[in-house]
A and B are shown apart, each in its own frame.
Chain A
Amino acid sequence: MADNQEITAGLAEIIEEVAGVAKDEVTSDKSFVDDLDIDSLSMVEIAVQAEDKFGVKIPDDELANLKTVSDAVNYVQANSK
């Protein structure tokens, strides 16, 4: 299983690809909506790519709870096989 740093780096790659946010902006305390200016449509794309990359399932009701980068990293950490 990947460690937190690797997951954050992987997530940053996806976010850069989908939303054009520079990778070094993607740090654990950042909010997707308020800090990184990522809209709900982009979040759906990011979730689909994260599912493929990390081998997790992110149901819609879980996705709604992922407010910050660390929320997402912790979710992946806890749910990846």
Chain B
Amino acid sequence: MSSSDVVVTGLGATTPLGGDVESTWEGLLSGRSGVSTLEADWVERFDLPVKIAAQLAVDPTEVLSRVEARRLDRSEQVALIAARQAWQDASFGDDGVEPERLGVVIGTGIGGATTLLHQDDLLEEHGLRKVSPLTVPMLMPNGPAAHVGLEFTARAGVHAPVSACASGAEGLAWAWRMLRNGDADVVLAGGAEACIAAITMAGFAQSRTMSTRNDDPEHASRPWDVERDGFVLGEGCGVVVLEREEFAKARGARVYARLAGAGTNADAHHITAPDPEGTWQAKAMEAALRNGGIAASDVQHVNAHATSTQVGDVTETVAVRKAVGDQPVLTAPKSMLGHLLGAAGAVESIATILSIHHGLIPPTTNLKELDPGVSLDVVAGEPRKMDLDIAINDSFGFGGHNVALAFTSP
């Protein structure tokens, strides 16, 4: 089969800003914060230095049936919810898609860690008999992808990239390759994460990468601001329907945007810190543009990874200037969403796609004073109106994973 352009025809999400794409997008445009104080008893019990998180706006158990909810880890619950929305949004007819031509690629950073912890508690407290026979399918990191594959009878391949905070973006990149290879006509692609728990909060806090602005949660995530002090852990899921353009055209699908190119590589520098020169982040962006046949000077917008950490935020802007130039307008959705880890790249790709679709870039909130190391135009305060044809979404992960996705108008 000949190589084919890849288009976006369906969007689904559940995030700290809303239970669907519409409310999430409205939240981003209005500069709402999804961050709040954690009420869980373990915050005080362990005297955790971080007492805030970006929790889901709509609890999955309000959407799923009781039995679905009890058989799925929370990371699987959000994946199923977002995938159903995306599928419905893509308006497949009664015939749907041939199972052999339908794929799923949904990544996660942590997977079913909360199931592992809960079942271990049951084992310790009550013994073997109380351990669920669903323990393994609930905790495995391919669980979110596998459940979505079952729901829609996807047989062209079901995959789960695990690359920390780049997992969601890598889901889209992998799906893009499947479609370009002709391995599928349609792929449900994205990332899922739901691991707000004592141990993850404690672990990230010990690595000194999280904001401790506990008395002011809404202003804690502040990418590029001089007073930023770390990221805010979030949870959620984003899933997009990607299709070969010929297939989408033949069925008369509504097209939001094109996923023109994807670039993935690795720093091989340090397990958590990005290469300070941003060399390989830049090369990922260059690869996405090259794969999409796009000139760097035509890129108008970068939806940045910017997590609100001291080092990472500035490094990324250095990489953007290196790969793309000084002209792109930047925004950092994590200022409102928090950091959804393995779901971040997928949810933020949806924001990028909608920016192209609506000609609107959401603001970066909490940006009082721009870091002097950043010499690019950052959207702050209000959304920016802009006729957008070409935009990049960046995602980088612990482990040195770099993913850049180049989206263009249809």
**Cβ of B129 and Cβ of A48 under 8 Å apart?**
yes
Tell me the minimal C-beta distance from A69 to chain B in angstroms: 18
A78 within 8 A of B: no
CA distance A19 to B68 in the complex (A): 9
18 example contacts (A-B, Cβ-Cβ < 8 A) are as follows A18-B67, A18-B70, A19-B67, A20-B65, A20-B66, A20-B67, A20-B68, A41-B133, A41-B134, A41-B137, A42-B133, A44-B133, A45-B132, A45-B133, A45-B134, A48-B129, A48-B130, A51-B129
Tell me the minimal C-beta distance from B376 to chain A in angstroms: 52
CA distance A20 to B70 in the complex (A): 10
CA distance A41 to B70 in the complex (A): 13
Tell me the minimal C-beta distance from B25 to chain A in angstroms: 33
> Which of B65, B66, B130, B133 is the most central at the interface, judged by chain A CB atoms within 10 Å of its CB?
B133
A residues with a Cβ closer than 8 A to B are 18-20, 41-42, 44-45, 48, 51
Shortest beta-carbon contacts, A-B, top 6 = A20-B67, A41-B133, A44-B133, A48-B129, A41-B134, A45-B133
Residues of B within 8 Å of A, CB-based: how many? 11
Tell me the minimal C-beta distance from B132 to chain A in angstroms: 7
Q: Closest chain B residue to A40 by CB distance? A: B133
Tell me the minimal C-beta distance from B164 to chain A in angstroms: 30
CA distance A41 to B132 in the complex (A): 9
CA distance A44 to B70 in the complex (A): 15
Tell me the minimal C-beta distance from A73 to chain B in angstroms: 22
Tell me the minimal C-beta distance from B118 to chain A in angstroms: 15
Q: Closest chain A residue to B135 by CB distance? A: A41
Q: Closest chain A residue to B136 by CB distance? A: A41
Q: Given A18-B67, A20-B68, 15 more contacts at CB 8 Å?
A: A18-B70, A20-B65, A20-B66, A20-B67, A41-B133, A41-B134, A41-B137, A42-B133, A44-B133, A45-B132, A45-B133, A45-B134, A48-B129, A48-B130, A51-B129
Tell me the minimal C-beta distance from B125 to chain A in angstroms: 15
Tell me the minimal C-beta distance from B136 to chain A in angstroms: 10
CA distance A13 to B239 in the complex (A): 36
User: Which residues of chain B are within 8 angstroms of A45 by Cβ–Cβ distance?
Assistant: 132-134
Tell me the minimal C-beta distance from A51 to chain B in angstroms: 8
User: Which residues of chain B are within 8 angstroms of A20 by Cβ–Cβ distance?
Assistant: 65-68
CA distance A45 to B133 in the complex (A): 7
Tell me the minimal C-beta distance from B151 to chain A in angstroms: 15
Q: Could you tell me which residues of chain B, from 121 to 155, have a CB within 8 Å of some CB in chain A?
A: 129-130, 132-134, 137
